[in-house]
Structure 1
């Protein structure tokens, strides 16, 4: 295990952070559309969602990080269903759409931009570097644009340029509220202008939540790492079947999983997967390595948009996520993604235990 470099963040105020279950569920997505190299037995991803985040500054300014499309779609054999608009979820819990000062799009994909028309024109849109050149004007003036002209009409569209000298850990950063409570991070690779967020959730001591957007799609793109090798025992982290748990009793689960990595041309300290759905793969992998440095800090809880490992563990909106560390959410969710690899582990366990 390598000790991670420092990840210094200047002092500042605390932001109020809530995780919103957008109610989106996408099922039937082939693993190969997002992750490589292949892992025998792990062919279809379990149903996934897109989390949205409500972030409120010390002065009451409110921002949403990511929205979600509200249509039922079927694309390439995948079913996508969304039960409610994020605007409706907010309103049902006492937050009016007009109270939202800013909507931050981590990037331009449909499952993140949502339906901006459900918010008034007074709500500004925030995007990352290069977004305007690539996608403006919107559709139909630009037939290939993923955004609509009507959504931008009368609405401020602000592009973050990261021209200041502010750097948090390895990331160029922008102090969004100006009080040190919430920073936007430049995390390129997955898409043009991809943004992440870092919110201060407590002070004395400082703790933070990273909203990673699509810097990765699965925990196996981040873990294991040089900072976080696989734990010797998996029993405290996984919900393995009784038969597999029994068969692993004579062999450390970490050895089985390390063997899986090595057989696929990777090392034991590398994540199981690399990203596939990327604008620039070299940048995307570099960003993932930088995110590993962030999550190696015990006071940072990294969440990405489709991380289903947190479901059933963390408190959802209207509750806040500020006490994540005291509630042990990071430890409870960090290795949960390995449950999805059980079929692949079963296929390889005989070799590892010498059966």
Structure 2
């Protein structure tokens, strides 16, 4: 069965998609904090961004998917802010609010109908109070029971009362009327026209959501949130095996040459991994076994040439994709997926040298 048969999406309208650089920079994250098994020569992950996505329906409804780290992150709930300042990895940074980025490009914030949090972690939630009260906040299953009414009314909550003040907070339960099945996922038709779906993707955090945007009648971008923190948690897979050869000039062991798949397979075997399973498993999350099950479901979509999967901290798309205010709808015609999908292998220079 082909990937397209496994991950069939019904016909629908096309939405406009823009990828926003939130100005978030995450530095010094230890590899073993996020994923396992170890990779020689890769003790720390490369500096990571957090992308926000602006989705607009053909009738003008606008939604933002994730907001990154805001400049005022030190005002987060103490259960979040204190560890960020004391863990010794380097503090996160966010130079601008997404709201300010939008205003700088002439977008009226009152035109933003919805903010969608893929999940509640500090590097995704931004500061909703920078948007007018008319902008609703959308969260995933179980969120309200776990975290409402927010800090300080609830001292242990990682989110703030100010995130919700004066605005509607809508929890998607995947029991609504606009719910269908796409691949192995429950999918909520957010605009009601088949242009943008929220996907139930549990495991990493309570209420974790992914998004699926129809960028042309037959192509899609999947916004993965924190389903993975590195392409090596998703690829290779049985449906998207490791290429025998791939041109990655920044691999210093093979300057200007084709990267040999055989040596990468040898690295997998040394780490007790099969050639066609991801290089890593997640090592952080609310329910890691559930996260791994969700990743396996995502691999069906990831292997389909008409889907471009972008996770929230995907550094591989830098310098490849056109960023806000430009549209990202023509990603397939511009070959972005082909250029980005195996770029994460550049992080394995140290392991290749050892091999």
- TM-score higher than 0.5: yes
The structural deviation recorded for 1:39 is 1.2
Residue deviations 1:203-231 (CA, integer Å, cap 9, x gap): 2xx10000000011100001111011111
Q: Does 1:79 align with 2:91?
A: yes
The structural deviation recorded for 1:80 is 1.5
- Pairing 1:12-91 to 2, within 5 Å after superposition: 12-71=12-71, 74=85, 75-91=87-103
Segments of 5+ residues of structure 2 without an aligned counterpart are: 74-83
Deviates more, 1:158-167 or 1:307-316: 158-167
Structure 2 residue aligned with 1:7: 7
Structure 1 residue aligned with 2:188: 174
Q: Does 1:297 align with 2:304?
A: yes
Report the TM-score when normalising by structure 2: 0.92
Contact 2:21–2:324 (CA under 8 A) maintained in structure 1: yes
In 1, distance between residues paired with 2:184 and 2:248? 29
Residue deviations 1:92-130 (CA, integer Å, cap 9, x gap): 111122111000000000110111110011100000000
Report the TM-score when normalising by structure 1: 0.92
The structural deviation recorded for 1:246 is 6.5
Contact 1:238–1:336 (CA under 8 A) maintained in structure 2: no
In 2, distance between residues paired with 1:247 and 1:324? 25
In 2, distance between residues paired with 1:246 and 1:329? 22
The structural deviation recorded for 1:268 is 0.5
Q: Does 1:186 align with 2:197?
A: no
Residue deviations 1:239-277 (CA, integer Å, cap 9, x gap): 222xx117988xx72111111111111101110000011
Structure 2 residue aligned with 1:227: 239
RMSD, aligned CA: 1.6
Q: Does 1:240 align with 2:251?
A: yes
- Pairing 1:305-316 to 2, within 5 Å after superposition: 305-316=312-323
Residue deviations 1:26-58 (CA, integer Å, cap 9, x gap): 111111110101112110111001000000011
In 2, distance between residues paired with 1:296 and 1:116? 34
SS in 1 for 2:254: helix
Q: Does 1:278 align with 2:285?
A: yes
SS in 2 for 1:174: strand
In 2, distance between residues paired with 1:247 and 1:344? 18
In 1, distance between residues paired with 2:242 and 2:277? 10
Give the number of aligned pairs.
340
Residue deviations 1:290-345 (CA, integer Å, cap 9, x gap): 11110111111000000000000000000010000000000000100000111111
SS in 1 for 2:220: strand
SS in 1 for 2:138: strand
Matching residue within 201, 214, 229 for 1:200: 214
Contact 2:248–2:256 (CA under 8 A) maintained in structure 1: no
Contact 2:234–2:299 (CA under 8 A) maintained in structure 1: yes
The structural deviation recorded for 1:8 is 1.1
Change (3 A) 1:247 1:84: closer
In 2, distance between residues paired with 1:246 and 1:160? 48
The structural deviation recorded for 1:69 is 2.1
Segments of 5+ residues of structure 1 without an aligned counterpart are: 349-355
The structural deviation recorded for 1:134 is 0.4
Q: Does 1:118 align with 2:130?
A: yes
In 2, distance between residues paired with 1:189 and 1:248? 39
Change (3 A) 1:8 1:41: same
Change (3 A) 1:305 1:238: farther
Contact 1:208–1:299 (CA under 8 A) maintained in structure 2: yes
